[in-house]
Amino acid sequence: MKPENITDTIVQLKVPMSRNPLGKTFSYLLKESRTLIDTGVPSEEAYTGLSDQLEPYGLKPKDIERIIITHLHNDHIGLAQILQEDGIEIWAGSAAKERQEMMVNEWDNLYENTLKELDLFGGQQYKHNITKNKYVFKSDVKPMQIDRYLADGEKFTLGDLDLEVIWTPGHSYEHICLLNQKNRILFSGDHVLPKITSHVALHSYRDHDPLGEYLSSLEKIQDVDVDTILPGHEWTFNDLKPRTQQLMTHHRNRLDEMKETLEDGPQTVYDVGSKVHWDSRPWPVMTFWTKRMAATETFAHLFYLEKMGEVKRETRRDTWYFSLP
Ligand SMILES: [Zn+2]
């Protein structure tokens, strides 16, 4: 993979991620300030890919001064956590602090809560997938050290570039986009991607409305006046407003489709998830882990509908049933 010059001083690096269908994460090099926006997964392949693409610019990974991360997902921060060992500063959106505290609190009971979630979501038949993979839910993970928190609306200059922080919770609570007004560029992270829809999910043990937040965050950026959108994956694109509107329509259609499944009477999260259409692959051939992601995405939609008063929820023998009011 080869780096691509976006402007004289902004370079798009393609950090490989061959085990993931997305194939790569974009890392953006701001040459004058030796800054990266996002990195990639914590793999040898990713590290080599990044090093090789920095080389034509006379840089080694340890020459980087700071990394700004759009959100705390492994495909954006994993490699940053390795680079951080060389003393590189990490900057992230202010909400990352709250998010990390929440995750640390959850780690202690994650295994128990995950099993309980299968009951609540009506996925009892999948429990063996969790019990035989108990080691995945280890509680000794240390949160990433963040050196500077960026507030929503904060403006700063790095080298020749003016940047403004736009907090865009939804795909992830702490997600930020960065606007470079002078060049009419938006670094959109995973908030808006050109083709795929970002995963918007909710676990049973959390109590917020990620879909509501996501839709508001789409509204928040739809009128940002830019020519170039530099996302976290896929490819560079230009049509921000039509794309945000497409995404809003996508979720409105999903909400309608889910409500329709409730016309046959009360359904669990797994019932609804198994009845709606999925772009990636049909429900019956999804692995347990993909079904689990689909279930949390389904729950995010049902939670939103419940908040809007369009569906109601009742608990029967530790399982939630959703129905039309
Ligand atoms: Zn990503």
What are the extents of the domains in the chain? 4-101+145-248, 108-139+261-323
What are the tokens at 30?
Answer: 């701001």
pLDDT at 140 over 70: no
Q: How far apart are CA 112 and CA 118, in angstroms?
A: 10
Please give the distance, rounded to the nearest whole angstrom, from the Cα atom of residue 311 to the centre of ligand 1.
31
- The residues pairing with 298 across neighbouring beta strands, listed in sequence order, are none
Same fold yes or no, 4-101+145-248 and 108-139+261-323: no
To the question of pTM greater than 0.75 for the whole model, the response is yes
CA 113 to centroid of ligand 1, rounded, Å: 25
pLDDT classification of 133: cutoffs 50, 70, 90: confident
Q: Which residue has the higher pLDDT, 46 or 105?
A: 46
CA distance 177 to 71: 9
Q: Measured in angstroms, how far is the CA atom of residue 317 from the centroid of ligand 1?
A: 37
CA distances from 121 to 125, 128, 131, 295 (A): 11, 15, 17, 8
Q: What percent of the chain has pLDDT above 90?
A: 91
Identify the CATH class of 108-139+261-323: mainly alpha
Q: How far is the CA of 325 from the centre of ligand 1 (A)?
A: 37
Which helix H or strand E contains 192, and what residues bound it? none
Tell me the pLDDT band of 1, cut-offs 50, 70 and 90: confident
What stretch of H or E contains 77? Answer: helix 74-83
Instruction: Check residue 207 and give its pLDDT.
Output: 87
pLDDT at 44 over 90: yes
Ligand 1 center to 148 CA (angstroms): 21
From the list 290, 286, 314, the residue with the least C-alpha distance to 302 is 314
Q: What is the pLDDT of residue 91?
A: 98
Q: Can you list the alpha helix ranges (DSSP code H) found in 193-239?
A: 210-222
Mean pLDDT of 302-321: 98
Q: Which residue has the higher pLDDT, 314 or 103?
A: 314
HSE-CB of 1 using CA atoms within 13 angstroms:
23
Region of poorest pLDDT, from 74-78, 137-141, 212-216, 232-236:
137-141
**pLDDT at site 139:** 63
Element holding 26 (H helix, E strand):
strand 23-30
pLDDT of 155: 98
Please report, rounded to a whole number, the percentage of residues in the chain having pLDDT higher than 70: 99
Of 49, 72, 298, the closest CA to residue 189 belongs to 72
171 CA from centroid of ligand 1 (Å): 10
Evaluate if residue 241 carries a pLDDT over 70: yes
| CATH of 4-101+145-248 among 3.60.15.10, 3.40.50.620, 3.40.50.2300, 1.10.1050.10 | 3.60.15.10
- Rounded to the nearest angstrom, the distance between the alpha carbon of 91 and the centre of ligand 1 is 17
> How many angstroms is it from 152 CA to the middle of ligand 1?
21
Question: What separation in Å is there between the alpha carbon of 251 and the centre of ligand 1?
Answer: 19
Q: Quick: pLDDT tens for 244-275.
A: 999 999 999 999 999 999 999 999 999 999 99
Residues 300, 302, 306: CA angle, nearest 5 degrees: 115
Contacts for 266 with CB less than 8 Å, ≥ 6 apart: 314, 321, 322, 323
Task: Say yes or no to pLDDT of 138 above 80.
Answer: no
- Identity of the residue numbered 38: D
pLDDT digits (tens, 9 = 90+) for 184-232: 999 999 999 999 999 999 999 998 999 999 999 999 999 999 999 999 9
Q: Give the confidence band of 137 by pLDDT, cuts at 50, 70, 90.
A: confident
Confidence of residue 11 (pLDDT cuts 50, 70, 90): very high
Burial of residue 318 (CB within 10 Å: 0-12, 13-18, 19+) is: exposed
- Cα–Cα distances (Å) from 77 to 22, 26, 107, 278, in that order, read 16, 12, 19, 28
177 pLDDT higher than 90: yes
Of 46, 76, 78, nearest to 177 (Cα)? 76
Contact 186, 177 (CB under 8 A): yes
The DSSP secondary structure of 253-291, one letter per residue, reads HHHHHHHHHGGGS-B-HHHHHHHS--SSS-GGGS-HHHH
Q: How far is the CA of 176 from the centre of ligand 1 (A)?
A: 13
In 3D space, the residue among 314, 282, 324, 277 whose CA is nearest the CA of residue 298 turns out to be 277
Give the phi and the psi of residue 181 in degrees, each rounded to 5.
Answer: -60, -45
pLDDT at 38 exceeding the cut of 90: yes
What residues contact 19, with CB distance under 8 A and at least 6 apart? none
